[in-house]
Amino acid sequence: MIDKGYLLGERYRIIDTLGEGGMANVYLAKDIILQRKVAVKVLRLDLQKEPQTEARFQREALATSELSHPNIVSVLDVGNDQGLPYMVMEYVDGPDLKEYIQKNSPLDLHEVIRIMDQILSAVALAHKHNIIHRDLKPQNILMDKRGNVKIADFGIAVALNQSSVTQTNSVMGSVHYTSPEQTRGGWVTKQSDIYSLGIILYELITGHVPFNGDALVAVALKHAQEPIPSIRKKNPAVPQALENVVLKATAKDPRDRYASAQEMKADLDTSLDFSRKDEPIFVPNHGMSDDETIILPGFKPQIDKQQDEDKKTDDQKQKAETKPGFLQTVKKHKWWFIFIGIASFLIIFIMIFALSGKNAQQKIYVPDVTNVAEGKAKIKIENAGLRVGTVKRQHSDSIDAGKVIETTPSAGDSVAKGKSIDLIVSSGAGMVKVPNVVNMDYDKAAQKLEKLGFDVIRENQYSSDVDSGNVISQSVAAGVQVKPKQTTITLFVSQGKLQKPKSTMITLKNLKNYSLTSAQDYAKDNGLTLQINEEYSDTIDKGMVISTQPAAGTKVERGSTVTIKVSKGAKESEEKTVNITKNFTVDYVAPQPSDSKSQESEGNHVQIYIKDDDHSLGNIYRDLYIKHDMSFSIPFSLKDGSGQLKVIRDGKTILNEKVTK
């Protein structure tokens, strides 16, 4: 873990921890150059020397940096801090989609389609760049304060044109959203992402995932073998056309799914149309047997060669000259015995191959033993059908001694039965030798100590021997071994020599835009007492001096009190964005005899324009044709003032009104 306050890459100040994962930790940080909050993903310290993990981390950075889309988290920077790879991304201040569903379910179906459209649009771009996400799930989809989604975590994404896209590289994502072909160790394609999108759509509609189980393998088997539970049986209000989108996206055979994310989006966008109200239930064209085995590409059983030799032998035997008598009988039986022997060998070979193939396909999910005592963790791993591999010890500030920090492979990964699982076990918080920072510049000394995990306090003193700004002494002597997390070091910093005042009167300096610390130092040096008042300011940064009383340039006596106003920063607007929904109905007007045939066949041409925080009247919000009365529910995001709704039917404005909070 990286401590709060650490300056990563000499630019990103760590503020807080956002999350911890098997491969990387994510931190909230501040970009001290651009003065904005960012999210920083840092490869875990203990994984730096693992080529596969570092390659996966670099693959995520590469995959995400190639994608520029409003619904994909942007990569802002990639770097390396003293051998520690990190990736800087835009910070999305909001919940993930999983939390949003849990809090707001059941969602309005129009809201479901709005959210899903954004997800599909982002995935379509990734697929256009031949990048498969492979771990699409609500937990990897963030939502900003306006309700817009951002897809994150391309940690196991892979490019289709990479040679690594084989069965051995078919890394599985979360099992509740994983396609049947991934659970079987098969090829991962764009249709695998589409299956995950279908499960996400199911959860948006119902509020829960289709399959659950006591063990991950049980959930995986359900995805591979059981049909998706009917949505309409539990909620008949869901149109069949919308359920069909889920059924097609989650078909067991990838050939029955949508060919692309764009195709799925187009089908979804019309799923609530009245014209599709009598649509029959989707039925896939292909099936998948429960015992289907994935055959590795390029493998050709050796049986074929043996069968060819048998056939060649039989042909030669049939062409051989027939001789009467005992010799002919012996030869006939001889070839018969040889044939039986070869056939028996082939049968045994096939059985061994089939059994070994079956065992090779058997996969086990690595149990999560994080923060579990070493002994119990070993038992849990062995009970899962796996073996305990090497056990390494490592200091940890967050995991107690004797408990597991992590495993390799990571918890939840799919591995073969009998696979060795390596453990890293905590040996408790580590001891660190305090460095000598005496006579160092304070900023450099504090940075050196903070990187080691110490809290640092500054205390200023006058000194005739040490230059101003340098460390006079330290509260904990150099060379002492301590635990950084439990130790605070005070640095006594020189203010230079104490200057005796030449007179009792001084001219007050202009302290505007000075930091509070600098103002206090000035007051101390000149024998003044400060009274501090705080107020908001749109022009002066937080923590900086706005003005003094008396004003700058005034002569004051040493020992007198000076009042300074310190900025609290700009006052945040109390206005909040309000989300409202406007419901209305557009009546269908039958064509007149004088109307053209195209008007009669297409119906009424309806154009909807809206104005809110996200839309302007200059752009069409919806453009469609209707052949019957149609109701609409339009969401508005209002913060500044009011919005506006305008509806045009066949070129005539039929509705034009303001929408207020």
From 16, 81, 93, 135, the catalytic residue: 135
- AA identity, residue 327: L
- Alpha-carbon distance of 84 to 7, in angstroms, equals 13
Helix (H) or strand (E) holding 54: helix 51-65
**Phi then psi dihedrals of residue 331, to 5 deg:** -60, -40
Q: Is 661 annotated as a binding residue?
A: no
Helix (H) or strand (E) holding 361: helix 326-361
Question: What is the separation of C-alpha 543 from the centre of its chain, rounded to a whole number of angstroms?
Answer: 35
Number of Cβ within 10 Å of residue 46's Cβ equals: 15
> Helices in 161-249 by DSSP H: which ranges?
180-183, 190-206, 216-225, 231-234, 240-249
Q: How far, in Å, are 118, 414, 498, 530 from residue 462 at the CA level? A: 62, 64, 6, 20
Contacts of 594 (CB under 8 A, 6+ apart): none
- Alpha-carbon distance of 95 to 104, in angstroms, equals 12
**135 assigned to active site:** yes
- Alpha-carbon distance of 326 to 641, in angstroms, equals 111
Q: How far, in Å, are 95, 164, 417 from residue 573 at the CA level? A: 22, 51, 58
**For the stretch 180-205, what's the b/e string if a residue is b when 16 or more beta carbons lie within 10 angstroms of its beta carbon?**
bbbbbbbbbbbbbbbbbbbbbbbbbb
Q: Are 211 and 176 in contact (CB under 8 A)?
A: yes
DSSP bridge partners of 423: 391, 407
Q: How far, in Å, are 1, 61, 427 from residue 373 at the CA level? A: 21, 35, 12
Q: Are 223 and 179 in contact (CB under 8 A)?
A: yes
- AA identity, residue 576: K
DSSP bridge partners of 353: none
How many Cα neighbours within 13 Å face the side chain of 111? Answer: 19
- What secondary structure, in 3-state letters, does 330-356 show? HHHHHHHHHHHHHHHHHHHHHHHHHHH
Q: Find tokens 């930091």 and name the residue.
A: 515
**Phi then psi dihedrals of residue 591, to 5 deg:** -65, 150
Phi-psi region of 20 (alpha: psi -120 to 50; beta: other; left: phi over 0): beta
Q: Which residues are part of a known binding site for ATP?
A: 41
Instruction: List residues with catalytic annotation.
Output: 135
